Structure 1
Amino acid sequence: MQINSLLSAGLGAYQAGQQRVDQASAVVADRTLPAAETSQAMADTVELTEQLVQMKVGEHQANAGVRLLQTADEVLGTLVNTKA
């Protein structure tokens, strides 16, 4: 695998994770929970919970992308040191 493709994959994973967090947080910010315990309130609570889960998934996805970028950077540094 080439370093460029590792860097692209890492950046893509980070950006996808960031986008997932942004979308989920926008949904959470737009929602307010009603005080009454109705079926709609329960559905809203489930939706908010799903969005919070999506935010956490996005966080993990972005962290995986960062780790991939760090690994590609280390490999590139090793290659440069070997050639020098």
Structure 2
Amino acid sequence: MQISGSALSAGLGAVQAGQRRIDQAGSDIARQTLPQREEQPAAAAQAQQANRPDPAQNTPPVRAPEPTADVADSLVELRVGQTEAQAGAQVITTADEVLGTLVDVRA
């Protein structure tokens, strides 16, 4: 029974590691592809607020992201995470089948 328990633990660990990798890659992709707001110095922001009563006009300009090779790296990491999670799920499935067979043999 200890072998089956350790296989389940290993499979669960692989699924969790794959999910963490997927989460990190997804965050990296979003950060690299979404437009970024340009920061304004505090004095300039206050001057704009004094001159413009409309708060909608106080939003800083949006800068388009620059394409980088990092997005490709993040996409690869996303796929690696998917494969890692699927492999972990397969280990769990196999350990479950082995455990079921052992229970059937003992009964």
Instruction: Give TM class, smaller chain.
Output: 0.7 to 0.9
Q: 2:85 pairs with 51, 62, 65, which one?
A: 62
Distance 2:68 2:13 in 1: 31
How much is the aligned-residue C-alpha RMSD, in angstroms? 1.7
The letter for the 2-side match of 1:56 is R
TM-score, with structure 2 as normaliser:
0.67
Unaligned runs of 5+ in 1: 36-40
The letter for the 2-side match of 1:57 is V
Corresponding pairs, count? 77
Q: Give the CA deviation at 1:45.
A: 2.2
TM-score, with structure 1 as normaliser:
0.84
Does 2:52 match 1:51? no
Runs of 4+ in 1 over 3 A off after TM superposition: none
Q: Greater Rg, structure 1 or structure 2?
A: 2
Q: Give the CA deviation at 1:30.
A: 1.3
State the match for 2:24 in structure 1.
23
